[in-house]
Chains A and B, each alone.
Chain A
Amino acid sequence: MPGWLFGSLTAEHCGSCSSAAMAWLVVRLAISVSLLYTASAVFEDQVGKFDWRQQFIGKVRFALFDTQSQASKKLLVATDKNVFASLNSRTGDLFWRHVDKTGPEGHIDTLLMYGQDAVVVVGNGRLLRSWETTVGGLKWETVLDTGSFQAAALVGVQDHVKYVAVLKKSSISLHDLSSGSQIWVENLPDSDTVQYQTIYSGGNGLVFVLGVVPNSHIVIVEYKIEDGEIMNKKSVEAAWMSSLETSCTIISSGILLCADQITQSLYTLPLQSAEQTEMRQIHLQTLDLEVASGFQPVLTSTQPNPAQPPLSEFFLQLSPDHHILLQLKDNLIAPLRDFNPSYLAAFATSGERTVAAVMSPKNDTACSINLFSADTGRRHLDTTIIYHMDPNGGKPNRLYVHAFLKKDDSVGYRVMVQTEDLTLTFLQQPGRVVWMREEALADVVTMEMVDLPFTGTQAELEGEFGKKADGLLPMVLKRLSSQFILLQAWLAHLWKLFYDARKPRSSVKNEITIDTLSRDEFNLQKMMVMVTASGKLFGIDSKSGTILWKQYLENIQPNSVFKLIVQRTTAHFPHPPQCTLLIKDKDTGLGSLYVFNPIFGKKSQIGVPALPRPILQTLLLPVIDQDYAKVLLLIDDQYKVTAFPSTKNVLQQLQDTASSIFFYLVDSSQGKLSGFRLRKDLSTELIWEVVIPAEVQKIVAVKGKRANEHVHSQGRVMGDRSVLYKYLNPNLLAVITESTDTHQERSFVGIFLIDGVTGRIVHEAVQRKARGPVHFVHSENWVVYVYWNSKFRRNEFSVLELFEGAELYNSTVFSSLDRPHPPQVLQQSYIFPAPISTLEATLTEKGITSRHLLVGLPSGNILSLPKMFLDPRRPEVVSEQSREENLIPYAPEMPIREEWFINYNQTVSRVRGIYTAPSGLESTCLVVAYGLDIYQTRVFPSKQFDVLKDDYDYVLISSVLFGLFFATMISKRLAEVKLLNRAWR
């Protein structure tokens, strides 16, 4: 065991040095020895061997294809996660990615592209940036005047795009496209009453700004590009209009076109004409069209070149699945082609030719996308792309088209389809999926790791034990047959090894599919079940990162809370493993259950209880039903308990054990923690109450211990060979509060350790001059929390350890009801020289391996910090006994070493959570860090003490062995000959 190793090392070393050894030397020695033992960096040749990273971008809001050159593979995207990136349109990989600040500060308002430049407005009109699109370098950045962003447009003069105009709530500014310098800025007239929303330039030296006074009139202001002079200003009656942005567009040579649902009409108005002071109304009836009731008609036009006016063709969407291509010609609107039904429509331009792609339903599972020429509405031949909809996915909701000219001058195209479940699919003719990205994974909410099932043979052997005994002879036969099957499987395995060894290495590729999934020798490969905020579930192979199954749950409210529970693991063959997802609406609290098989992702046929009332708490009991599923208790707002599964067997068991089932509820708005006990009739009774006044401090987090955690040693051996027993209360809750007073001198963070059964406050401490956000880990007999020291303006770690003392009150079993003596609490704090995003502790099978803390840093690194550094028993002054115990002398600052970064240069952007799971090897803990990216690796907190190293010299050891063997044989023979000779003499 590594702990002993460390001990022997120190002892040995100190034996050699004189008894008067200086403390400083010991300090350094201890630190260096501890480093020797905790160094956990990977070697260069280990990179990518057992770890992988996947990078995501989020939900695409803007996507632009580089149409400058035919060979360009660039696809620029800006997403709701404030990510601006360039994708390789051939493979879907990232060329480069810029992750901006989270929240409104980094929000990407718009994305414009011209040539090699991409212009981005960030943070509600705070910054204007221009990026070089090939390498993703920043060309220039300008800070814009204050004011909320409305619109931006590229402005061209004489067929050349030179400027970018930005419209704010009360001003308009023009910037040079090559340098970003501001040409002019003008205040908008009457900006307190008029809502300016749209900007338009047709390349004729003028910029039009369009505003609306809702349900009254439209205001059109003309600016001269050179100096920003107002050339003209007029207002036009439009009593029916509430918003320009949603109902209007500009087509042809500067004609404003609007659609209104109530009057069932289209309206046109030439922007520049002086005589027309009223919008011309065109009833849709005259075109034989009708807008679906309750649907806001959508107009889509296209302006292929910002220096030229838009085309006179446009799409009108009349209902969610009805588009029509119309044309404005000689002041008349004429339909070119009616697309009914059609889901999505989009324009694309290549060179001089503009085409329209329309997605129409083909059958239940597929859609067809066709290309039409924009000016005539005629269908291009042989341009159909069949898009197969994923039966477990969502509906397509965005279509991005990349058109290009083929060698024979016909138009070819590729499309990118984004669906409701945030899947990006890139297709080319005739329907080949070029690549796919699952952007829902950019927002993982919660996850679990599930063991993979046994192979057929393993299961066969396992199944033998599960069955009822039916006589001696059948059992023996059964055993023999299963042993025979095992032998057969082993031989087949050997044969496969032999066969594969003859093939070149590259062709032996183990393709992982859902059918070949099976548990490996050390249970290192598991199924990662990930729940994303969009309501899509994923099953990912932890070894390779391959998505093995996905399931989109429809009708999930965007602010839902998810809780994933593993009710039955893979251990109960032939019963399939079972996971339950509790989806709770944050506003109403109403919940629903989704039960599925975590290995195959299939929805389970088990009937789930209806949950008519809001759910307050869930509780997974160790009680199992006859099918080995753990019982889940759901407590509603009337403190009634629903059991799932609720078979007779379960109810009987619950009745028997009801008096020992306790649960707690937290009401953070009132600061109330209350404990309940289950009654036999599945009602509950209140048994304790703790109220932390919400006026002074509010509860920010409550955490118990992880149920699958094992603690190997009951106590710690002290320097004098006595044992300090740990206070291992499985029912202990760590409650963290933050003061309502945020003044830096008076703010504090409160830590309460409360027994969840009796409500007894085991320990209560306040960290003065501290502020959140607090991250904490509660495990074994310790709590580690991180807070912000508002006085010294730094992050600090604090560790609390609980001990029962030199003797155990009851060494056989822990009962919260019978543990009268309060534990001894030790605490120490340290300075941590970096901000922190998240915190988690490693977890191993039996808890023998020493623990490490995994600290997610905002820089994207994950630090593996030995728990040894967070030990409240670290002495101020080194003594013989503390040396014996291997305690590192106290130092107020926590070190950060680069080699402790478990993800070397594979940073995880915006890391939000770290999940740890034990593997079959005691030394190894599986780690998944998720945020914008997902990173999976293994850590070995005490090194790989139970595995031979990768570079273990098998040849040497076997040659020595064989050498010795033959040497003995030969010498034996020689000795025999010698003996014989002597006897003859």
Chain B
Amino acid sequence: MAMIRVLSLILSVLSTVTLLWTQSGECNNGRRSGDAVDTDFSGFSVPLEHSFEVDDVPRFRLRGALQFRGGRENGVYLSQNQLSEKDRNTLKDVAAVDGLYRIRVPRVSLQMDRQTERQSEGYLTTFVRACSLVESHLSDVITLHTDVSGYVIGVSIVTIPGSCRGIEVEDEVDLEVFNTTVSVVSPVTAPPPETAPYIERMEQEMEKKGKNPQEQKSFFAKYWYLILGGAVFLMATSSAQTPPGGAREQS
């Protein structure tokens, strides 16, 4: 059995696999993926299964293997087989009845030190409309979401473009190889209230104010001449007017 399997794998032509680092998004297309399923190079792999049936009852088969590299960065790499002719026809049939193309991955932990407990029961499933997969010529984006502790909590698949316009896909070759982008997304840390930069900015502004000598001066220091002038003027006018008024009052 093993021999036949290896043979069939070797026989399978280049399957397209995209390797994407979450950070850099570097791609590596057209890589040979022969016996990738069970290999383990310092990381581990989990099976990616898919199902597309005309009667819409899920029957999952192996699509490829997601290989996780050890180390800090959540490097993930998908090696997958190309679709057989039977599968291609089924997929087209499913697309014609607007069926679903489902994928699933087992619930695992991506943390290296949790290897022993990483396998837990159950799968995470998601779907995309089969027609959009066909119309996008099997170009899909698979994202694995992990929680804070590295458990895979959800998987999503979208095709680009994602629409179903009813375009006939004539060319059989278009439906042979997946053009997949796969990535792992872990939760982002939500920002706390940013008090430090705010205080810093306030201090800077205060400093700026302090540097400007014009600002520092008090109101009287700035306008002393105006106030003085005004006062003198007032005194002059009042002294000129008081005598007659006062005289009248006294009389």
- B-binding residues in A (CB < 8 A): 22-24, 659, 685-693, 696-697, 748, 750-751, 754, 758-761, 763-769, 789, 796, 798, 810, 817-820, 827-831, 876-877, 890-893
- Which A-B residue pairs are the 6 nearest by beta carbons? A760-B156, A690-B154, A820-B158, A818-B162, A892-B193, A820-B162
Q: Are A750 and B148 in contact (CB under 8 A)?
A: yes
Please, which residue of chain A has its CB at the minimum distance from the CB of B153?
Answer: A692
| Given contact pairs A818-B163, A820-B160, A827-B190, A689 touches B125 in the complex (Cβ within 8 A) | yes
Q: Are B193 and A829 in contact (CB under 8 A)?
A: yes
Q: Are B189 and A690 in contact (CB under 8 A)?
A: no
**Interface check B92, CB cutoff 8 A:** no
Residues from chain B with a CB closer than 8 A to the CB of A819 are 158, 162
Q: Are B125 and A685 in contact (CB under 8 A)?
A: no
The A-contacting residues of B in range 50-90, CB under 8 angstroms, are 56
**Interface check B98, CB cutoff 8 A:** yes
Residues from chain B with a CB closer than 8 A to the CB of A688 are 125-127
Q: Which of B124, B190, B205 contacts A766 (CB 8 A)?
A: B190
Q: How far is the CA of A789 from the CA of B192 in the complex (A)?
A: 9
The A-contacting residues of B in range 165-206, CB under 8 angstroms, are 185-195, 197-198, 201, 205
| Given contact pairs A760-B158, A796-B193, A659 touches B98 in the complex (Cβ within 8 A) | yes
Q: How far is the CA of A467 from the CA of B57 in the complex (A)?
A: 46
Residues from chain B with a CB closer than 8 A to the CB of A820 are 141, 158-162
Residues from chain B with a CB closer than 8 A to the CB of A831 are 193, 195
Q: Are B192 and A693 in contact (CB under 8 A)?
A: no
Q: How far is the CA of A831 from the CA of B193 in the complex (A)?
A: 6
Q: How far is the CA of A914 from the CA of B189 in the complex (A)?
A: 30
Please, which residue of chain A has its CB at the minimum distance from the CB of B149?
Answer: A696
Q: Are A768 and B189 in contact (CB under 8 A)?
A: yes
**Interface check B137, CB cutoff 8 A:** no
Q: Which of A691, A748, A768 contacts B124 (CB 8 A)?
A: A691
**Interface check B44, CB cutoff 8 A:** no
List, sorted by A's number, 18 A–B pairs whose CB atoms are closer than 8 Å.
A23-B205, A689-B123, A690-B124, A691-B124, A693-B153, A750-B147, A750-B187, A760-B154, A761-B143, A765-B189, A817-B129, A827-B191, A829-B190, A831-B193, A831-B195, A877-B201, A892-B198, A893-B193
Mostly helix, strand, loop or mixed at chain B's interface? mixed
**Interface check B122, CB cutoff 8 A:** yes
Q: How far is the CA of A691 from the CA of B121 in the complex (A)?
A: 11
Q: Give the distance to chain A from B52, nearest Cβ to Cβ, in Å.
A: 13
Q: Are B198 and A891 in contact (CB under 8 A)?
A: yes
Q: How far is the CA of A767 from the CA of B192 in the complex (A)?
A: 8
Q: How far is the CA of A24 from the CA of B145 in the complex (A)?
A: 43
Residues from chain B with a CB closer than 8 A to the CB of A748 are 148
Please, which residue of chain B has its CB at the minimum distance from the CB of A766?
Answer: B187
Residues from chain A with a CB closer than 8 A to the CB of B100 are 687
| Given contact pairs A759-B126, A765-B187, A876-B201, A830 touches B193 in the complex (Cβ within 8 A) | yes
Q: How far is the CA of A691 from the CA of B125 in the complex (A)?
A: 10
Please, which residue of chain A has its CB at the minimum distance from the CB of B127?
Answer: A687
Please, which residue of chain B has its CB at the minimum distance from the CB of A831?
Answer: B193
Q: How far is the CA of A831 from the CA of B158 in the complex (A)?
A: 38
Q: Give the distance to chain A from B177, nearest Cβ to Cβ, in Å.
A: 19
Residues from chain A with a CB closer than 8 A to the CB of B107 are 691
Q: How far is the CA of A688 from the CA of B126 in the complex (A)?
A: 4
| Given contact pairs A764-B185, A820-B158, A691 touches B192 in the complex (Cβ within 8 A) | no
Q: How far is the CA of A692 from the CA of B153 in the complex (A)?
A: 5
Please, which residue of chain A has its CB at the minimum distance from the CB of B205?
Answer: A24
Q: Which of A23, A761, A796 contacts B145 (CB 8 A)?
A: A761
Q: Are B194 and A892 in contact (CB under 8 A)?
A: yes
Please, which residue of chain B has its CB at the minimum distance from the CB of A751?
Answer: B190
Q: Give the distance to chain B from A203, nearest Cβ to Cβ, in Å.
A: 65
Mostly helix, strand, loop or mixed at chain A's interface? strand
Q: Are A876 and B153 in contact (CB under 8 A)?
A: no
Residues from chain A with a CB closer than 8 A to the CB of B195 are 831, 892
Please, which residue of chain A has its CB at the minimum distance from the CB of B129?
Answer: A817
Count of chain B residues with a beta carbon within 8 Å of a chain A beta carbon: 48
Q: Which of B129, B151, B197 contacts A696 (CB 8 A)?
A: B151
Q: How far is the CA of A768 from the CA of B188 in the complex (A)?
A: 10
Q: Are B122 and A691 in contact (CB under 8 A)?
A: yes
Please, which residue of chain A has its CB at the minimum distance from the CB of B154?
Answer: A690
Q: How far is the CA of A555 from the CA of B201 in the complex (A)?
A: 63
Q: Give the distance to chain A from B208, nearest Cβ to Cβ, in Å.
A: 8
Residues from chain B with a CB closer than 8 A to the CB of A876 are 194, 197-198, 201
Q: How far is the CA of A366 from the CA of B7 in the complex (A)?
A: 91
Residues from chain A with a CB closer than 8 A to the CB of B141 are 820
The A-contacting residues of B in range 133-159, CB under 8 angstroms, are 141, 143, 145, 147-149, 151, 153-154, 156, 158-159
Q: Which of B129, B156, B190 contacts A759 (CB 8 A)?
A: B156
Q: Give the distance to chain A from B143, nearest Cβ to Cβ, in Å.
A: 8
Q: How far is the CA of A758 from the CA of B185 in the complex (A)?
A: 17
Q: How far is the CA of A767 from the CA of B187 in the complex (A)?
A: 10
Please, which residue of chain B has its CB at the minimum distance from the CB of A872?
Answer: B191
Residues from chain B with a CB closer than 8 A to the CB of A766 are 148, 187-190
**Interface check B9, CB cutoff 8 A:** no
Residues from chain B with a CB closer than 8 A to the CB of A891 are 198
What 10 new A-B contacts, CB under 8 Å, besides A690-B145, A761-B185, A893-B193? A686-B125, A690-B154, A693-B149, A696-B147, A761-B153, A764-B145, A768-B190, A789-B192, A817-B162, A831-B193
Q: How far is the CA of A295 from the CA of B56 in the complex (A)?
A: 60
Q: Are B190 and A692 in contact (CB under 8 A)?
A: no
Residues from chain A with a CB closer than 8 A to the CB of B194 are 829, 876, 890, 892
Q: How far is the CA of A690 from the CA of B128 in the complex (A)?
A: 15
Q: Are B147 and A692 in contact (CB under 8 A)?
A: yes
Q: Give the distance to chain A from B137, nearest Cβ to Cβ, in Å.
A: 14
Q: How far is the CA of A696 from the CA of B111 in the complex (A)?
A: 14
Q: Give the distance to chain B from A951, nearest Cβ to Cβ, in Å.
A: 39
Q: How far is the CA of A24 from the CA of B193 in the complex (A)?
A: 20
Residue among B145, B151, B185 having the largest count of chain A Cβ atoms under 10 Å = B145
Q: How far is the CA of A810 from the CA of B165 in the complex (A)?
A: 13
Q: Are B193 and A764 in contact (CB under 8 A)?
A: no
Please, which residue of chain B has its CB at the minimum distance from the CB of A891?
Answer: B198
**Interface check B112, CB cutoff 8 A:** no
**Interface check B48, CB cutoff 8 A:** no
Please, which residue of chain A has its CB at the minimum distance from the CB of B208?
Answer: A22
Q: Give the distance to chain A from B165, nearest Cβ to Cβ, in Å.
A: 10
**Interface check B16, CB cutoff 8 A:** no
Q: Give the distance to chain A from B197, nearest Cβ to Cβ, in Å.
A: 6
Q: How far is the CA of A761 from the CA of B142 in the complex (A)?
A: 12
Q: How far is the CA of A136 from the CA of B222 in the complex (A)?
A: 60
**Interface check B164, CB cutoff 8 A:** yes
Residues from chain A with a CB closer than 8 A to the CB of B187 are 750, 764-766
Q: How far is the CA of A692 from the CA of B128 in the complex (A)?
A: 22
| Given contact pairs A817-B132, A818-B132, A891-B198, A765 touches B153 in the complex (Cβ within 8 A) | no
Q: How far is the CA of A686 from the CA of B51 in the complex (A)?
A: 13
Residue among B100, B126, B198, B209 having the largest count of chain A Cβ atoms under 10 Å = B126
| Given contact pairs A759-B156, A876-B201, A891-B198, A689 touches B124 in the complex (Cβ within 8 A) | yes
Please, which residue of chain B has its CB at the minimum distance from the CB of A749?
Answer: B190
Q: How far is the CA of A418 from the CA of B102 in the complex (A)?
A: 60
Residues from chain B with a CB closer than 8 A to the CB of A758 are 126-128, 156
Q: How far is the CA of A688 from the CA of B148 in the complex (A)?
A: 21
Residue among B123, B145, B193 having the largest count of chain A Cβ atoms under 10 Å = B193
Q: How far is the CA of A891 from the CA of B128 in the complex (A)?
A: 43
Please, which residue of chain A has its CB at the minimum distance from the CB of B104?
Answer: A689
Please, which residue of chain A has its CB at the minimum distance from the CB of B98?
Answer: A659
Residues from chain B with a CB closer than 8 A to the CB of A692 are 147, 153
Residue among B129, B186, B195, B201 having the largest count of chain A Cβ atoms under 10 Å = B201
Q: How far is the CA of A125 from the CA of B145 in the complex (A)?
A: 52
Please, which residue of chain B has its CB at the minimum distance from the CB of A692?
Answer: B153
Residues from chain B with a CB closer than 8 A to the CB of A750 are 147-148, 187
Q: Are A765 and B158 in contact (CB under 8 A)?
A: no
| Given contact pairs A693-B151, A818-B164, A876-B197, A796 touches B192 in the complex (Cβ within 8 A) | yes
Q: How far is the CA of A163 from the CA of B74 in the complex (A)?
A: 74
Q: Which of B147, B158, B189, B201 contacts A693 (CB 8 A)?
A: B147
Residues from chain B with a CB closer than 8 A to the CB of A810 are 163
